[in-house]
Amino acid sequence: MSKTEERRTSAQKPLQKQSWSDDFSRRIFLTDVAVLAVVVAAVQIIWFGFNSANLAVGQASGVVSYTFISVAIFVAWLLVLSVYGTRGRRVVGTGTQEYKLIADATVRLFGLVAIIAFLFQIDFARGYILLAFPVGLIGLLFTRWIWRKWLAAKRAQGEYAAKVLLVGSAASVTYIARELSRRPDAGYLVIGACVPTSLVGDSLPGTSIPVFGNFERITRAMEVSGADTVVITSADELPPERVRDLSWALVPGKQHLVVAPSLVDIGGPRIHTRPVAGLPLIHVETPRYEGSKRFAKRTFDICMSLIFIALASPFLLACALLVKVTSPGPVLFRQERVGYNGTKFHMLKFRSMVIDAEERLLELQKESRAEGNAVMFKMRDDPRVTSVGRVMRRFSIDELPQLFNVFGGSMSLVGPRPPLEREVDQYEKHVHRRFMVKPGITGLWQVSGRSNLSWEDTVRLDLFYVENWSLTGDLVILWRTAKAVVASEGAY
């Protein structure tokens, strides 16, 4: 069969049964309908009771009922959520884009209602509008979060995910397969691969992912494997015409083509696609560490650290007293760390160890090497930790005095872990990029496993933060930190 006939046959195949994205989108739509109906109706009842209320339009009074307005807002809200693509398969389930789109759509609808009210002199009850929109937004975000948890559980079982066929060199295919396996909640389930030289029946090195042949068998491999998404991991062996032919052979709306460029640990906001002369050029902005973003981050750090210190001051005093009466030595432990631009500073912690902990360090280092981190010293059952210190470490209470470091400017609320000088001496050259931002009390390393992480994963997460930090990302990390602390995940 020629390539042209193959494309025609593929295009004439009957459409597959309803995809997971259609099913999930329908579920979200029904939830959105329920949330908005309840919110709009409840707000009207709370504000006006069960009596029918009217409002004035221009010089006429009582010509439009609030029931009509409520129905109009309900329909318009559902419509704007659809127009903004808040239920699209590319935004649901992972990342912050889904939440941003919902907030953006709601705010714009609120603005549109205000403009219409002004132009037509509609005398809205302000409390009705000011209550309906924020409550509705909170309800939408909460239900989407619930659905995201449900979707993550399903994807961990291999359901509700794109079935991926990887195409490219063996090395690039293996790398992408490993990276996708780290995040099953992202919704890409690798079920096979096509590589230049392998035969049918092989598997990718170090994996159980089957190989369905070379690049001449991609369409057939999709039929056999049931894949609905082709991910091209390297294009050296695939000329542009072959990639174009492959895209034409896919069933529109049911099968998808994804190209994975040679970019790693780059955040979405820094990537822009611009078609030029028929070429989809990808522009990658270099990270910026100055200007308004840095000013906003510093302002956020000052304000939030002051609030936390004020709210936690009774608890801080109680912890200080507990440390003082349960073991000899100072209340605070001051340790020199390496921070922003390689400058040294003294990091504060509640003392959780015996006073001669540093002297006993060398004899324990060999034992700690068996726990999987070749640079950072971590030990699950460290005998130097006091009984009170063990509880503090489990819930990260010993880190609270670092709020004063944040207020003073040597640290940030969110950032890479501040290392010891002896750890910096072992760094490879690229790891020094961690010092391009201030170290943080918490960071991606802490909400992703903390002491359970290998050194390679710790570096990867810290560098990802350095390359892609934002205030929105900081808020997400702070929220995840609170959850990790309550669960005491990976802390010892």
Of the candidates 440, 477, 481, the residue with the CA atom closest to the CA atom of residue 305 = 440
Cα dist from 451 to 95, 290, 373, whole Å: 25, 31, 9
Residue 298 has pLDDT above 90, yes or no: yes
pTM here is: 0.66
Q: Which of 244 and 201 is assigned the larger pLDDT?
A: 244
3-class secondary structure, 222: helix
Q: Which of 307 and 382 is assigned the larger pLDDT?
A: 307
421-451: pLDDT as tens digits: 888 888 888 888 889 899 999 988 878 766 5
> What mean pLDDT do residues 145-173 have?
90
Q: How confident is the model at residue 6 (pLDDT cuts 50, 70, 90)?
A: very low
What are the CB-based long-range contacts (under 8 Å, 24+) for 138-146? 139/35, 139/36, 139/38, 139/39, 140/32, 140/35, 140/36, 140/81, 140/102, 140/106, 141/99, 141/102, 141/103, 143/31, 143/32, 143/35, 144/28, 144/92, 144/98, 144/99, 144/102
Q: Which of 71 and 31 is assigned the larger pLDDT?
A: 31
Helix count (H) and strand count (E) of the chain? 16, 12
Residue type, 22: D
Domain 161-262 has CATH 3.40.50.720: yes
Domain boundaries, the chain: 20-156, 161-262, 292-487
Nearest-5° Cα angle at 195, 247 to 255: 25
